[in-house]
Structures are given as structure tokens and as C-alpha cells.
Amino acid sequence: MGNIHINTFTRYKMQISLESWKCPEIKLPAGFEMAPWSTNLIHKHSEAIYKSFKDSIDAQFFITFTQQSRCEDFMRYLANRSGFLPSATWLLREKSGCAAARLFRLPSCYKLAGTIQGLITPEFIGAIQNVGILPEYRGRGLSKLLLYYCLWGYQQAGVKTVQLEVTQINEVAINLYQKIGFHVTEVIEKMPSL
């Protein structure tokens, strides 16, 4: 009988204190908007999660990211949790000005650009979920804007400490979180989710 090897992967738990954090002035690029949480946007959030993570390193460890239907199930699960925080949950989108919308004078069409979700633990600590930017929108500083909106939402709810987890080899994300003020509080070995 052969040996079974289950590979683990390393995640960092990172944390920021909001007690003295001041949200910088936020200026979205022209044509972009942050849509606040609405149950009508569950499908859009799950689509943004899927498109942001399906080809990422995290999709190798979290099966949720491999199918849009799983992302939608996960988004419904988050939204129905008692600690779900709508004010820390945002959808970033770009107005695309569809020709059909202009022709029929309908509201503008939108292209998904990113998503972020917020939970509060029973200890009243914020727990950021899925900072996701679609590949075609990366490198423009949009993740930082999502984080600012999310952290502002936590502050409005009176949350003093916010955490997130990030895969150790995701250096771009780790650098961003550190620039905002997060620091590593724990190194965690995890098994891939099945």
C-alpha cells in the first residue's frame, strides 16, 4: 500500500487596526462606480469572484473558484451568515455605455471589474473575503480602492480590528495589504478544499 501525500499550502493571516486609521480620499477613475451591497447583485458578485480567481494560484487550493456555480453558492452562503456586513461588501464596475442601452434610453450597461465582501466574527473582528479584481483591470490600483471602501464600511459599523488571509506566494497582494497598514499576525498551513 503506497503512502498518501496531501500537500498543504501556506497562508498569512494579516490584520489592521481601525482605531486610528483614516480613510484616504477616494477618487474612482472616470467611468467606474462602487455598487453597495444588494441581494440583487449576488449573481454579479459571484461572477466577479469566479472571473477574478479562476486562473489564480488560489483556484489550485480552493475548489470554489473553479466554477461560477460554486462561487454563487459560496456568495449565497456568505450573504446568509449572521456576521455578513453589507457596508463592507462592494461591487466595482465600469460603465460600458452599451449601444443598445443608448438606443433605447435604458440605464447604462456595466462591466464587472471587482468585488470584496465583509464578515464580522463573533469576537467582533472584521474578516475580509475575496478581494477580487478581474484580470483585465489589474495594475490600476483598483484593489486598493475596494479595500478602502471595505475598511470604511467596517469603521461605520464600529469594528476596530480587521483581518484577512492571503496565500503566501501572492506577493503582489501581500505588498498591497502592507502598504495599507496590514501586518502578518499568523502563518497558517492549510489543506486544499475539496
pLDDT at 99: 54
CATH code of the domain containing 171: 3.40.630.30
Confidence of residue 133 (pLDDT cuts 50, 70, 90): very high
The 3-class SS string of 21-85 reads CCCCCCCCCCCEEEEECCHHHHHHHHHHHHHHHCCCHHHHCEHHHHCHHHHHHHHHHHHHCCCEC
Domain count for the chain: 1
- 89 assigned to some structural domain: yes
User: Cβ distance 59 to 53 under 8 Å?
Assistant: yes
Run of H or E residues at 116: strand 110-120
- Which residues form the domain of 154? 9-19+35-190
How many C-alpha atoms does 84 have within 13 Å on its Cβ side? 17
What would the pLDDT profile of 88-126 be if each residue is shown by its tens digit? 999 999 987 555 544 554 455 789 999 999 999 999 999
- 100 assigned to some structural domain: yes
Q: Is 43 helix (H, G, I), strand (E, B) or coil?
A: helix
CB atoms closer than 10 angstroms to residue 36: 12
Task: Say how far apart CA 42 and CA 190 lie, in whole Å.
Answer: 28
How many C-alpha atoms does 68 have within 13 Å on its Cβ side? 8
* Sign of the C-alpha dihedral computed for residues 36, 118, 153 and 144 taken in this order: negative
- 66 assigned to some structural domain: yes
Please give the single-letter amino acid code of residue 157.
A
Q: Is the pLDDT of residue 4 over 60?
A: no
What would the pLDDT profile of 8-67 be if each residue is shown by its tens digit? 889 999 999 999 999 999 899 999 999 999 999 999 999 999 999 999 888 888 888 999
Confidence of residue 174 (pLDDT cuts 50, 70, 90): very high
pLDDT at 60: 83
Please give the single-letter amino acid code of residue 165.
E
Rounded average pLDDT over 124-135 = 97
Least reliable range by pLDDT among 88-97, 135-144, 179-188: 88-97
Residue 103 in grid coordinates:
438606443
- 3 assigned to some structural domain: no
User: Cβ distance 102 to 80 under 8 Å?
Assistant: no
